[in-house]
Amino acid sequence: MSTPQSPLHGPSRHESAHGHVSGAARYVDDLPRPGGLLIGLPVGSPVARGRLKAVNCAAALAVPGVHAVLLARDVPGHNRLGPIVHDEPLLAEDELYAVGQLVALIVGESVAACRAAAQKLEIVVDEAPAILSVADAIAAGSYLGTPHVMRRGDVEAALARAALQIEGELASGGQDHFYLETQAALAIPGEDGSLEIHSSTQHPTEIQVATAEILGCDRNRIVVLVPRMGGGFGGKESQATHFAALAALAAVRLQRPVKVWLSRELDMQMTGKRHPFWSRYRAGFDAHGRILGLEVFIYADGGWSIDLTPAILDRALFHLANAYYVPALRFEGRAVRTNTASNTAFRGFGGPQGMLVIEDAMSRAAERLGIDPAELRRRNYYGPEALQVSDSGPLAVDAPLPEGELDERVVASLHGRKLTPYYQTVEDCRLPRIHRELLQQADYAARRAEIDAFNARSPLVKRGLGFMPVKFGISFTNSVLNQAGALVLIYTDGSVQLNHGGTEMGQGLHSKMLAVCAHELGVPERCVRVMTTATDKVPNTSATAASSGSDLNGAAVQRACAELRERLRPLAAELLGAAPELVGFSDGQVSVVGGRSISFAELTRAAWARRISLSAAGYYATPGIVYDREAGRGKPFHYFAYGAALTEVEVSGLTGEHRVLRVDILHDVGRSLLPNIDRGQIEGAYIQGLGWLTCEELVWDPRGRLLTHGPSTYKIPAVGDAPEDFRVSLLRDAPQADVIHGSKAVGEPPFMLAISVIPALRHAIAGFGEAGLEPRLTLPCTPEAILRAIEDIRARARAAQVSAAE
């Protein structure tokens, strides 16, 4: 239990906030320059597809200050990497698969010298036709990995008896991570073939592993350190590895420290993005708007190599049904190989792309059936509450199912609408409560009515209000990855060094770990220092990803600290002359209730004198998770995070521009470890999602060269795009069992709350047409896309008037 002095659950600030705002916080490029530092500049393929015939280096090497041009043949070990399958050469051998694919590393004394040399490097290629879209890849049979299928019941029978059938196709675009700090690494050679690598990475262990393979040495030669990242967002989960490995290769070849730091342009050209997806679906609803059956084919554009694509595709499938119980279903997911940068993890990890599909079906069903879109969604939640009486009267129970489905019907009723498409039971669906509280708090019904009245009298400007619930599975879906470690060192002045396996990318993980440690040892936060993440302190770590950084590392920190505290307790009892169970640790004091006390520092000195160890490692593995991909069944998630959002927009019928007027969010973070940090995560994730859906658009030329490779052509949301009125609240009284101090993961789930902007825009666009007409809106919802949808619905409304008049 927390004490009044505990740093948990109360007001807090980010542990590096003062450094972020003053500029004192150090990133890789801010580390002091080691003597003899050289710069490494990667050079990428000029073509999207082709044969690499030669790389002529003479002219580049002649540039003053240039020391080397490294190619595939300079790799001493294994020229291969990749987080799941080693299918990527670090430096291209004879085939080229994407513009920007790494071909060479120029090493020189300055960035200017390297850039001059890059201009003179002659890469000779035979260009071949490239595959640049999902449609082309499907036509060419260009796939990555195997399909993933989930099925339950007889989906054809369910669709056949549905009162409403909807067919749809949906394309969602990529998204650049646009972290403020681009990819960066500094490698420093040491004694005996050892190497220290400072990297801006979410996954230091992967860099250690990959670099050892590339150099052909044991992993114990390499130490990887992560000071902090200026953002990762998934883009540094697997793809920081390439640049760290290049720095390491050059450092070892030249026996000099080498830094690789990408310009924004190179970073955008060379690194993968959120996967574009394309899908088609058929959905069947009953007359009350309850979904009966859903069939989906979903395709992820993996780019040129496997990277994390299979895991991202899996998560898209796990989230195809979002928050809704779907009785009969068939989901099939495939990944395609195209000749673009290899697409990678990005906040939500395929979940957002998956959810878009069923949300499209839900929006369209509401429009067709004339049911309020929030109410229609509520009727589909997991759990029996969704069947309860609604504002519009009681709902009939499911119509009888055809005999072929009886089996599944029994299963479904046994579980009381609790079974996900992958057969995990949803235990504690918090959405009915979140739904009720948010709609009431945000005055939903009255605002919807007001907006309809506004739209009726405003010809050129329309408003819309959109609702979106989110249910997001927490755990790495590759169950093995759900483990973490910590190493806590206490010194004899009572100060503490905290090492844990997670990395800090701005999300506040270090702040949370610091608070957990201080709470557990009963010392003030100022006595604890969170150390640079390092592979020689906590080994064999997983990436800080899947939003699980504080769940996993928090439990490991808690265990290490609890072990130390319990080790010290008998000594404290002896010194205080009391029974061990009466000794309390809090606020830097070790005391007996109502009795004597000594300081934590005094206790540590006494422990040293008694030869009691003052350091401990902690380890945690999430219990009870398992998934069988072949069968499409299991319990992949430890629990689910929930939330819901309401977004209000205003759209101009003249330009297609829109503004987000107001956003209301109610999000479930369990019993928040640090509420301020969680609020920041929710706001940031929502805005980042809004960027993906409304303003960020990647454009390639017909030869596969990215045209949008800087802030002038690629628009991320700015402060002016943030909602004018942004109301975020955390669900109260909602502790989560079996998670660190009752908290819940927060990093990714709120990203998907931004999907509420789509039903909001649809509501506004529908206002330009006529009742019963469905807007046709494509993603991203840029002003062009919105204007096209407005013109289309106006044209259909006019056509309907003409035919009615005839």
Return the number of other C-beta atoms located less than 10 Å from residue 515's C-beta: 27
Q: Counting contacts by CB under 6 A, is residue 345 touching ligand MOS?
A: yes
Q: Per CB under 6 A, which region of 50-58, 83-91, 346-354, 449-457 contacts ligand MOS?
A: 346-354
Which position among 346, 381, 627, 637 is part of the footprint of ligand MOS (CB under 6 A)?
346
Is residue 168 a contact partner of residue 219, using CB atoms and an 8 Å limit?
Answer: no
Q: Per CB under 6 A, which region of 71-79, 339-347, 756-764, 782-790 contacts ligand MOS?
A: 339-347
Residue 509 touches which of ligand MOS, ligand MTE, none (CB < 5 to 8 A by kind)? ligand MTE
Residue 182 vs 202, nearer CB to ligand MOS: 202
* CA 364 – CA 483 distance, rounded (Å): 41
- Number of residues counted as binding ligand MTE (CB under 6 A): 20
Q: Per CB under 6 A, which region of 54-62, 413-421, 538-546, 718-726 contacts ligand MTE?
A: 538-546
Query: In angstroms, what is the minimal distance from the CB of 738 to ligand MTE?
Result: 17
What CA dihedral angle connects 278, 280, 286 and 288, to 10 degrees?
A: 30
Q: Counting contacts by CB under 6 A, is residue 509 touching ligand MTE?
A: yes
Q: Per CB under 6 A, which region of 104-112, 341-349, 394-402, 446-454 contacts ligand MOS?
A: 341-349
Residues 724-763 touching ligand MOS, rule: CB under 6 A, are 748
Inter-axis angle of helices 549-576 and 509-521, nearest 10: 20
Which position among 505, 528, 690, 765 is part of the footprint of ligand MTE (CB under 6 A)?
505
**Main-chain dihedrals φ then ψ at residue 139, nearest 5 degrees:** -60, -35
Q: Per CB under 6 A, which region of 85-93, 500-508, 630-638, 756-764 contacts ligand MTE?
A: 500-508
Residue 681 touches which of ligand MOS, ligand MTE, none (CB < 5 to 8 A by kind)? ligand MTE
Give 325's DSSP letter.
-
* CA 351 – CA 99 distance, rounded (Å): 27
Q: Per CB under 6 A, which region of 40-48, 345-353, 442-450, 764-772 contacts ligand MOS?
A: 345-353
What string marks each residue from 698 to 737 as x (binds ligand MTE by CB under 6 A) or -? ----------------------------------------
Take residue 320 and report the two structure tokens written for it.
Answer: 């195809």
* CA 84 – CA 145 distance, rounded (Å): 11
Is residue 272 a contact partner of residue 240, using CB atoms and an 8 Å limit?
Answer: no
Q: Counting contacts by CB under 6 A, is residue 546 touching ligand MTE?
A: yes
Residue 315 vs 537, nearer CB to ligand MTE: 315
Is residue 369 a contact partner of residue 301, using CB atoms and an 8 Å limit?
Answer: no
Q: Which amino acid type is present at position 724?
A: E
Residue 646 touches which of ligand MTE, ligand MOS, none (CB < 5 to 8 A by kind)? none
Which position among 60, 97, 209, 233 is part of the footprint of ligand MTE (CB under 6 A)?
233
Query: In angstroms, what is the minimal distance from the CB of 546 to ligand MOS?
Result: 5
* CA 740 – CA 104 distance, rounded (Å): 46
- Number of residues counted as binding ligand MOS (CB under 6 A): 10
Residue 257 vs 747, nearer CB to ligand MTE: 747
Residue 349 vs 444, nearer CB to ligand MTE: 349
Q: Which has the closest alpha carbon to 399: 296, 328, 347, 317?
A: 328
Which position among 347, 417, 519, 762 is part of the footprint of ligand MTE (CB under 6 A)?
347
Q: Which has the closest alpha carbon to 108: 183, 187, 189, 40?
A: 40
Rg (CA), the chain: 28
**Main-chain dihedrals φ then ψ at residue 646, nearest 5 degrees:** -125, 125
Q: How far is CA 181 from CA 229, 287, 371, 494, 688, in A?
A: 7, 51, 46, 36, 16
For 378-446, the DSSP string reads: HTTBSSGGGGS-BTTBPPPP-PPPPGGGHHHHHHHHHTTS-B-TTS-B-----HHHHHHHHHHHTTHHH
Q: Counting contacts by CB under 6 A, is residue 309 touching ligand MOS?
A: no
Ordered alpha helix ranges (H), 466-541? 509-521
What string marks each residue from 165 to 204 as x (binds ligand MOS by CB under 6 A) or -? -------------------------------------x--
b vs e for 63-73, b when ≥16 Cβ sit within 10 Å of the residue's Cβ?
beebbbbbbbe
Q: Which has the closest alpha carbon to 229: 194, 206, 201?
A: 201
Residue 297 vs 639, nearer CB to ligand MOS: 639
Residue 108 touches which of ligand MTE, ligand MOS, none (CB < 5 to 8 A by kind)? none
Return the number of other C-beta atoms located less than 10 Å from residue 176's C-beta: 25
Which position among 350, 485, 549, 780 is part of the footprint of ligand MTE (CB under 6 A)?
549
Kindly state the helix (H) or strand (E) to which residue 682 belongs, with its residue range. helix 675-694
Q: Which amino acid type is present at position 553?
A: N
Q: Counting contacts by CB under 6 A, is residue 231 touching ligand MTE?
A: yes
* CA 501 – CA 515 distance, rounded (Å): 16
Which position among 479, 507, 542, 586 is part of the footprint of ligand MTE (CB under 6 A)?
507
What string marks each residue from 363 to 382 as x (binds ligand MOS by CB under 6 A) or -? --------------------
Which position among 349, 381, 600, 751 is part of the footprint of ligand MOS (CB under 6 A)?
349
Residue 279 vs 475, nearer CB to ligand MOS: 475
Residue 200 vs 586, nearer CB to ligand MOS: 200
Residue that the structure tokens 């009795």 belong to: 595
Which position among 309, 511, 535, 550 is part of the footprint of ligand MTE (CB under 6 A)?
550
Residue 179 vs 297, nearer CB to ligand MOS: 179
Query: In angstroms, what is the minimal distance from the CB of 346 to ligand MTE?
Result: 7
* CA 387 – CA 289 distance, rounded (Å): 11
Residue 40 vs 750, nearer CB to ligand MOS: 750
Return the bridge partners of 651, or none. Answer: 462, 658
* CA 775 – CA 363 distance, rounded (Å): 10
Q: Nearest to ligand MTE by Cβ — which residue?
A: 549
* CA 108 – CA 67 distance, rounded (Å): 5
Active-site residue 109, yes or no?
Answer: no
Q: Which amino acid type is present at position 782?
A: T
Contacts for 446 with CB less than 8 Å, ≥ 6 apart:
none
Q: Counting contacts by CB under 6 A, is residue 546 touching ligand MOS?
A: yes
Residue 17 vs 369, nearer CB to ligand MTE: 17
Query: In angstroms, what is the minimal distance from the CB of 397 to ligand MTE?
Result: 40
* CA 607 – CA 603 distance, rounded (Å): 6
Q: Counting contacts by CB under 6 A, is residue 547 touching ligand MTE?
A: yes
Residues 212-241 touching ligand MOS, rule: CB under 6 A, are 234, 237
* CA 682 – CA 676 distance, rounded (Å): 10
Ordered alpha helix ranges (H), 255-350? 264-270, 309-318
Q: Per CB under 6 A, which region of 107-115, 332-340, 343-351, 687-695 contacts ligand MOS?
A: 343-351
The burial of 182, by beta-carbon neighbours within 10 Å (0-12 exposed, 13-18 middle, 19 or more buried), is given as buried
Q: Nearest to ligand MOS by Cβ — which residue?
A: 234
Which position among 681, 694, 736, 782 is part of the footprint of ligand MTE (CB under 6 A)?
681
Print the SS3 string covering 768-806.
Answer: CCCCCCCCCCCCCCCHHHHHHHHHHHHHHHHHHHHHHHC
Candidate list 295, 408, 504, 748, residue with the active-site label: 748
Query: In angstroms, what is the minimal distance from the CB of 514 to ligand MTE?
Result: 13
Which position among 16, 309, 541, 544 is part of the footprint of ligand MTE (CB under 6 A)?
544
Q: Counting contacts by CB under 6 A, is residue 210 touching ligand MOS?
A: no
Kindly state the helix (H) or strand (E) to which residue 160 belongs, with its residue range. helix 155-160
Active site residues: 748
Task: Summarize as ranges the residues that interact with ligand MTE (CB under 6 A).
Answer: 231-234, 347, 505-507, 509, 544-550, 681, 684, 747-748
Task: Summarize as ranges the residues that interact with ligand MOS (CB under 6 A).
Answer: 202, 234, 237, 345-347, 349, 545-546, 748
